[in-house]
Structure 1
Amino acid sequence: MMVRIRTMARLTGIREATLRAWERRYGFPRPSRMEGNNYRVYSRDEVESVRRVARLVQMDGLAVSDAIAQVENASLDVPPGTDRLTARFWPAARLMDTEEMSRVLSAARESMDVDTYCDDFLLPLLREMSSWLDIAREHLASALVRHRLWQVLLSVESPALGPRALLACPPGDFHEGGLLGLGVQLKRKGWRVTMLGADTPANALRAACAQLTPDLVALSFVQSRERTEFQSLLEEVLRTCSPTPVAVGGPAARQHLLTTFNTGAQYAESAEELIALWNQARCAQNRP
C-alpha cells in the first residue's frame, strides 16, 4: 500500500507541512517519489512509524528528534531470521505500542492455520521475549500473546467424548504459554482439556481431580528450581492426583529428568509424546 502525503496526514494526524518539515530536518519519514509528477508517496510501514512518533510526542512528551530516534532504533533492532510479522512485532513491543502488537497478532491469525499460528508464531514469541525485552515490556507483550493463545484454545471445539487432560503450572510458576499451546494441540487431537493455568496450588489440583476424574494430569515447569524443591513439589502433586498418571514438561523439568522418573512421574516434550505415554499406561493397566 502506498499513499500520498494528504492521506498520510489524515491517517496519522500530522499536518502535511509538519511531515515536510520533519523530512527536511530529521530525514524522517523517507517517502518515495512518483514518476512523472515527483509526488511524495509513503509505504504502510512509514505510516505506522509516523503514528508511533506522534504517539511518543503527544502522549509521552518526547521531543520529536528523540521520538524519531526511538522508533528507528526499535525498527532496526529485530532478531535475525524473523519473518515479516515477527519483525513488526518486536519494535512495537519495545515501544509498548499495544495497538500495533494487536494488529500484528490479528494479521498472523488471519494468514495462518491454527497449528502454524500457535507453534510457529505465538509460542516462539513467548520463548524469545526475555532475550529481546526488559521486564515491563515483556509483561505487556506476553499478556497479549497469552490472551491470543487463550482465544485459540477456547475456539477449538471440544469433543463430547474422549480422554480428559488437566493442565496446570505448579505453585510459583506463572509461565503458562507452553501449557496453552499444549492444550490447543490436545483439543485438536480429540482430547477434552481443562486448563487451570499458572500458579496452581495443590488444593486446586486436588479439587479438580476429584470433580473431573481426568485421564491425565500434565504440569509445565518453566521456573528453574533446585532439585530438592522440584522433587518435593512433584511428590506432592503425585499424592494429590493419585491414582491419575502425572506427566511433566518444560525447561525446568528437563533439568531434573532422573528425579522425575524416580518419583513415578513421566516426562513429555510434546502433545504426541504425552499421548504416547498415556496409551502406554493404558496398555499396562489392561495387561493381564
Structure 2
Amino acid sequence: MNNQLSTFADAVDLERELFPIREVSRLTGVNPVTLRAWERRYGLIQPTRTESGHRLYSQADITAIQSILGWLERGVAVSKVGSILARGQALAEDSWAATSADDLARWRTQVREAVQRFDAGGLDRLFDQVFAGNAQDQAFSDIFMPVWHALRVGQSGFGQASEWAFLDQFLRGRVLMRLHLARGRHRQQVLLAPLGDYLQELELLVAGLLLGSDEVGVRVLPVTQPLEELALVCERLVPDALVLFSNQRPTTELAKRLPRLGLAVGCPLLLAGEAAELAQETLAGSPVACLGADASLMRKRLRQYLAGQLDT
C-alpha cells in the first residue's frame, strides 16, 4: 500500500515539475527558436514564466509538443495544427456534450423537421434543448449552421428558399438576444466587421457571439459596413482591436490593402474565419494577425494577442 502511495506521489511530482526551454529542446528535439515561434506566432503552447521572464514548461506542454510533432510528420502545416488541437481540447472539456455523430445527426434532423413545418414554437423549444445539452460552439457549428448552410445551398427545390428565410430569421433573433445579454463591462472591447461582399448577417453575428468571452466584449458592425470607413469608426469607438471576418479567400488586391488598413485604423487588425486560414501564408510578416476559423482557437488567439503573447 505504501509503495502504491509512493508511486502515485512520484507521478504527481512529475506532473508538477517544470522544465526550462533548453531541457525541453533536448527532450523533444525541437530547437528553442521554434518553440518560441510555436508559442508567440501560433499560440500552440503556453509555458509559464518566471519573474525574470524565463519560460518553464510542464509535462502537459511537453505532451502537446510531441502531439504537434506528430501532426507535422503527417504533413499538416503548422498553421493548421492549432485548429486540430483546439478541437480535441474542446471535445475533452465538453465531454458532457452530445458529441457523438449520431446524436448530432438527430439534433439536425429535428431542426430540419421543425423548419419544414415552419414551427416557430417547436424550433424555439428545440433551440433551448440543444443549448441545455451542448456547448455553444458545438450547437452552432455542428447543429444549427449546417442546416442553415444546407438550405441556403439547396434553394433550387420548391419551398426551400422560404424554409431558409424562416430559419435565418429565427437564428438571427436568437443570436442577437444572446449578444445583447453578453453586453457588460469587459476589460477589453473588440470591433468585428465583415470583409468582402459575400458574408451573410447571421455568419457575422454568430462569429461575434463565439469570439466573445468574459474578458473580451465584441461589438458587431453591420454587414453593410464600408471597409474604407473603418478608420473613422475606430477613431470614434477606440476599440482594443478590429477583427475582420470572412469565409472567402481574400482577393490579391484585398490582401494587399489589409496591411495599409491596419496602419489607418489606429489599433491592431486581426483576421478571422476561413479567410484567416486561407490567407495566413500571404499575410506572414505583415502587421495583420490571423486568428483562424475554429471558434475556440479564435478566442484563445484573440486573448493571447490582446495580452501581447501572440505575434503577427
Give TM-score scaled by structure 2 length: 0.54
Paired position in structure 2 for 1:172: 197
**Cα gap change, 1:115/1:268 in structure 2, threshold over 3 Å: closer, same or farther?**
farther
Measured in 2, the distance between the counterparts of 1:114 and 1:232 equals: 44
Measured in 1, the distance between the counterparts of 2:212 and 2:145 equals: 21
Measured in 1, the distance between the counterparts of 2:126 and 2:207 equals: 22
Measured in 1, the distance between the counterparts of 2:134 and 2:301 equals: 17
1:152-200 CA-to-partner distances (Å, cap 9, x unmatched) read: 11112411x5111011112413234454344334543222322103242
Aligned residues: 198
**Cα gap change, 1:237/1:190 in structure 2, threshold over 3 Å: closer, same or farther?**
same
Q: Map 1:80-99; keep pairs closer than 5 Å.
A: 82-93=104-115, 95=116, 97-99=117-119
Q: Map 1:93-172; keep pairs closer than 5 Å.
A: 93=115, 95=116, 97-100=117-120, 103-109=122-128, 112=131, 116=135, 118-124=136-142, 125-131=144-150, 133=152, 134-135=154-155, 136=161, 137-159=163-185, 161-172=186-197
**Cα gap change, 1:276/1:178 in structure 2, threshold over 3 Å: closer, same or farther?**
farther
**Cα gap change, 1:152/1:142 in structure 2, threshold over 3 Å: closer, same or farther?**
same
Q: 1:230 aligns with which of 247, 250, 254?
A: 254
Measured in 2, the distance between the counterparts of 1:82 and 1:219 equals: 30
Structure with max Cα Rg = 1
The answer to whether the Cα contact below 8 Å between 1:170 and 1:199 also exists between their aligned partners in 2 is no
Q: Percent identity?
A: 17
The answer to whether the Cα contact below 8 Å between 1:248 and 1:265 also exists between their aligned partners in 2 is yes
- Give the 4+ runs in structure 1 shifted more than 6 A: none
Shift of 1:266: 0.5
The DSSP-based 3-state class of the residue aligned with 1:112 is helix
Measured in 2, the distance between the counterparts of 1:113 and 1:189 equals: 20
The answer to whether the Cα contact below 8 Å between 2:191 and 2:239 also exists between their aligned partners in 1 is yes
Please tell me whether residue 275 in structure 1 is matched to residue 310 in structure 2. Answer: no
Please tell me whether residue 193 in structure 1 is matched to residue 218 in structure 2. Answer: yes
1:113-150 CA-to-partner distances (Å, cap 9, x unmatched) read: 5982x312234322453335523243442332232111
Measured in 1, the distance between the counterparts of 2:188 and 2:133 equals: 21
Give TM-score scaled by structure 1 length: 0.58
**Cα gap change, 1:115/1:89 in structure 2, threshold over 3 Å: closer, same or farther?**
closer
Gaps of 5+ in 2: 1-100, 156-160, 293-297
The answer to whether the Cα contact below 8 Å between 1:216 and 1:247 also exists between their aligned partners in 2 is yes
The answer to whether the Cα contact below 8 Å between 2:108 and 2:147 also exists between their aligned partners in 1 is no
Paired position in structure 2 for 1:202: 227
Please tell me whether residue 240 in structure 1 is matched to residue 264 in structure 2. Answer: yes
**Cα gap change, 1:145/1:266 in structure 2, threshold over 3 Å: closer, same or farther?**
same
The DSSP-based 3-state class of the residue aligned with 2:192 is strand
AA in 2 matched with 1:231: A
Gaps of 5+ in 1: 1-78
Paired position in structure 1 for 2:32: none
Measured in 1, the distance between the counterparts of 2:263 and 2:299 equals: 24
Once superposed, what is the RMSD of the aligned Cα atoms? 3.1
Bigger RCO of structures 1 and 2 (CA < 8 A, at least 6 apart): 2
